[in-house]
Every structure is written in C-alpha cells, then in structure tokens.
Amino acid sequence: MRKPRIIIIGGLSAGPSAAAKARRVNENAEIILFEKTAHISYATCGIPYALSGKIQSRDKLIVVQPDQLVKRFDIDLHLNEPVTDIDPNAHMVYTHKGAYQYDKLIFATGGRAILPHIEGIEEYNNWAHAKTLEDFDKIMKQDVVAKSDHITIIGAGLIGLENAENLVKIGKKVTVIELGDHVLANWDAKFATMAEKVLIDNGIDLRLKTSVVGVDATTNELILNTGERLYTDYTLIGISIRPNTEMLTSKGAEHLPNGALIVNEKMETSIEDVYAAGDCASIPHKLTGESGWFPMGTHSNKGGRTAGANAVGGESAFDGGYGTAIMKLFDFTIARTGMGPKELKRKGINFKSSFSISGTTPGFYPDQKDLFLEIYFDPETKVLLGAELMGERGVDKRVDVLSTAIYAKLTIDDLPKLDLAYAPPFSPAKDPVIVAGFVAGNSITEGYQEVSVTEADEIFSNPNISNYIILDVRNPSEIHKNGLIEDSINIPLDDLRDRLSELNKHKHIFVYCAKGLRGYLSSLILLHHGFENVSNIGGGFTAWDKIIQKSVSLELD
C-alpha cells in the first residue's frame, strides 16, 4: 500500500507544527517540508529582545533545530529550496530542483514585511525590516547596535514599539514615526494615548500623523511628509505584513482582501486537498462567525497542528480566535482581547462600555499599582464582547481571565461570580475583573449613566452644549495636589447630602472623583434625591489626567 504523501510549504511556525503533528498522528505517512531559507522554527517575536541583548544568543531564537525535525519526526526536510509554483489540479509542487506530487498540501508560507514607497530607498543601505532571522543577521552584520547612536523606527505597532523599548534600554536615541493618529491601531484611543505618554516619558521622540516619503542616502536623512529632514544612523521598518498567498490566490483560492486564505475549522482552503495555516491564512472569528486575520504565533501553532492532523487522516478542529494581544511597554503592560470599539462600530454591533480603575493589590499592601480596564458588552444580553487594559502589574493575569470569559460567553453579571485567587501580594479581595463586572452592572441597573472621559471631553468642549454641571466630589486637598477639570465645582462626597441645594436638578450633572467609586456613590445620592440626569465619569480624574491631559490647578485659600 502506497504511503500518503504530505507536502508542507513553509518552515517557520505553522509548517513545523503541522509536520510534527502529522507524524504523531500517522507514523507511515511520507512528510516533505520545503523551506526557502536555511532556517526553520525560530522566534521572530524574540528579535527585539535579541537586539538589546536581553536574549543573549542568536541560538536562543532557534526553537527547533533542523536535525531534530528530521531525526525525531522523520521529516524529509528541504532547506534553501523555495517552491516556485503549485498545480492543484495535478497535485504537483514545483521547485528549482524538481517536481513533487502530493496527496495533501499544507500551505504555511507566512507573510512578508511591507515596504512603503520611500523615494531613494534603493540607494540607502542603513535600513532593515525586523521580521525574519535574515533581517536580524543583516542588522548584526552591519554592527548597528554598536555603531548607531540614533535609530528611527517606522511603524508604531507591536513589533515597532517592542524594538523601540529595547533600543532605548541600551542607550539609543529612538524616533518612532507613525502615519496614524495614535500608536497601536488595534487599541482604542484612550489606551493608545496612555501608551504614547509612556513612550514620551521614556525619552522616545514620537512623531504621529507623520510618514517618511524619501531618504537622502548621501546625508543619512529621512525626508518626512512635513518637509522636515531627520538625520538618523539607521532605520527599522516595521509597518505590517502581507500574506504570501499569490501561488494559491492566482489559482482561485478564496481569500480576504489582504490575500489571507479563507479556511474552515479543519484549516481546509477552498481548493481540494489544500490546507493553510499561519500568517498566510485567516481563521474563524469566534465572535462574528466571519473569517478573521490574526497574525500571531499562538494561532500559527494551533492552525498548523490542526492542518497536520487532518492532512494525514485525523479529526481535528481549530474554531478560531478573537484578537487577544499583549505587549510590554517599559514598566507597563498593555493588552486586549475580543472586539474593541473600533471593530464593533465598523461592524455595526450595538455595545456598551464600562471603564474602571482598580488596584492590582490591596491598599494596605505596599506599592499598590492601578489597572486601567475597559470592557465592552452587549447591552441586551450583557454578554462580554471585548476588553482593553493597561497597568504596571497583573495585566497578563486579567486579560487571560477576560479572554476565557469571552470564550465561555460569560456576561458582565457572571464576572463578579468568578472564584479568583486572592492573597495580598497578588490581588485585592475584589479583583479588577470582579470590580469591572460590578461597575458595568451598576451602570445598567442603578439608574445613572456612565460616560468615558473622551465622551465627557467632547461634551465639555462643545460650545453649543451648556446645560450641565461638572461636580468634583474629591476632597479639597486632592484638588490642590492634582488639579481638576476646568469649570468644575467641588462638593466633597461626605458633604454632598447637606449641600444638594447648591445644585440645579434641571441640569445634567457630570460627577467625578479620583478613580470612580466616590463618583458612583455620589451619583446614587443625587438620584435618590430627585436628580434625574446624572452621569459618572468612568475612571474619574485619574483617567481624565492620563487620557485627556487637560486639567487646571486650584489654589486653596
């Protein structure tokens, strides 16, 4: 009986995962893997940390050595042999060395870094992408880390900012250039603004709404769309990637607008006997039911594993993802899961949001840190749709809890019922996830409205809207120390019941405190005393100061 032949194209992440799983499922299959370079299975996400020396050896980036794949899993490995064409009808794969027939094909070609149009880039040698091991080797060969004082990074996504942080930490002057209004385009502007402040506070020269339109190779100057010429020793380009799928899309494979191949839960493409996994493929979006593109190593491994099992006769399914991501940003961590407001609005999905600030440890435990958390949920079913969060400690734990909650289709009412671990070094008795559930639930059931600081700022900045009062319920000493929102009146929470006559019941009352709790309590007092239009500003003055960054000082008598 002839052995089934499985051909895998691509050796970075999804391909080796597919090969290893296929072998574990079927010992008798012939498995051939083609890789266009000399390397397989290395950690692209570790490159920024290798540049700074946090990862001290290039060898540490190699996850699986070629010999291990050959000997342990009996894979016929073809390095430095790029596939040049595929004939799906004949089930043939072509390289410069020959033609190979397959029974099942796994397409795991990943994506390539995008190079924007920059006039003169062809004559400019002092630049690189920071995506592949070949990119890393080029940077090391040019001795960039030792010879460069100033490095410019084009693109303020995850990889761009990770490179920026690592280069700053080894003493480099870093400029980050981003065409968009904010860094980290997948996050809401509130969180992007906080991230930008962290970058600037750590010495990064951040240029938003800016692009590089040309380069003068004779002077090492980048020419910006503003007309400015920026001298730099070296440039790293990390804008985004484009799926490497032309060999199959040209044969009629169904794909997303960016070229990512559309697959089902078995990782099957629209072409018979062809699977796809990794950055070249979409996966099901668990929240919308549509195909989504999430170029992350987690999905590459899962997708490759699923494709490998099914290609040799197994029964496996990968039912998709929903955009969970996290990154370290100096002393802070920023994360997200599910759908944020940008995607929800773009898809026309009705949602409500709730913003909270909670300590990641109890107030009595030393060195408490704040966690900024916003959750998005269906206002009718209360099912959690997404979350974004940022803080100095404990972000990773909370985003994984919230990701699990989204997977399980939990509601905001379910969050406070979770039995989460508690001990003072790790969490307060009311964990930030628990608090987020309480805050969201209260905003629905207790009659007051919650508004974000950005929504409040839009109202306060509109000269055509004036029938409101901004009520600060903090103590005067806090205002003297930290400032306040312009045009606020101050009535401390503990004095509020005795001074209600100072407020006009016919006006919209916007209440805020330091972080939200006293604003919530004040909102309830106002409602109980006949004030009908009351809004608590989520996150209070702390969120206002970090996100809106417009406050005024008040000198006490």
Q: Are 399 and 371 in contact (CB under 8 A)?
A: no
pLDDT for 446: 82
Q: What confidence score (pLDDT) does residue 171 get?
A: 97
Catalytic residue among 24, 30, 32, 45: 45
- Contact between residue 385 and residue 287 where contact means Cβ atoms under 8 Å apart: yes
C-alpha pair distances (Å), 314 with each of 25, 317, 421: 7, 10, 38
Phi and psi torsions of 319, nearest 5°: -85, 10
Please report the pLDDT score of residue 557 as a whole number: 47
Of 22, 5, 57, which is closest to residue 305 (Cα–Cα)?
A: 22
- The residues, ordered by sequence, that sit 6+ positions from 113 with a Cβ below 8 Å of its Cβ are 129, 131, 132, 135, 237, 238, 239, 240, 241
Residue written as tokens 């951040």?
206
DSSP codes joined into one string, 111-162: EEE-----BTGGG--SEEESSSHHHHHHHHHTTHHHH-SEEEEE--SHHHHH
DSSP track, 165-195: HHHHHTT-EEEEEESSSSSSTTS-HHHHHHH
CA distance 45 to 378: 34
DSSP conformational letter for 3: P
DSSP assignment of 208-233: ES--EEEEETTTTEEEETTS-EEE-S
Q: Alpha-carbon distance 275 to 262, whole Å?
A: 10
SS3 state of residue 266: coil
Full set of structural domains in the chain with CATH? 5-111+242-311 (3.50.50.60), 121-239 (3.50.50.60), 325-445 (3.50.50.60), 449-548 (3.40.250.10)
**Per-residue CA distances from 475 to 492, 493, 533 (Å):** 5, 8, 23
Q: Is 322 helix (H, G, I), strand (E, B) or coil?
A: coil
Residue 130 is encoded by which pair of tokens? 């920071």
Among left, alpha and beta (phi > 0; psi -120 to 50; other), residue 483 is: left
Confidence at residue 1, expressed as pLDDT on a 0 to 100 scale: 66
10-residue averages of pLDDT along the chain (557 residues): 92 96 97 96 93 93 92 97 98 98 98 95 95 94 96 97 97 98 96 98 98 96 97 96 97 97 97 98 96 95 98 96 97 98 96 96 96 97 98 98 98 98 96 97 87 96 94 96 95 97 96 96 96 95 95 69
Phi, psi of 427 (to 5 degrees): -165, 150
- Residue 467: φ, ψ to 5°: -85, 60
280 is catalytic: no
Nearest of 381, 375, 298 to residue 338 by alpha carbon: 375
Q: Within 13 Å of residue 316, how many CA atoms lie on the same side as its CB?
A: 20
Decide: 280 and 110 in contact? Cβ < 8 Å. Answer: yes
Phi, psi of 298 (to 5 degrees): -60, -45
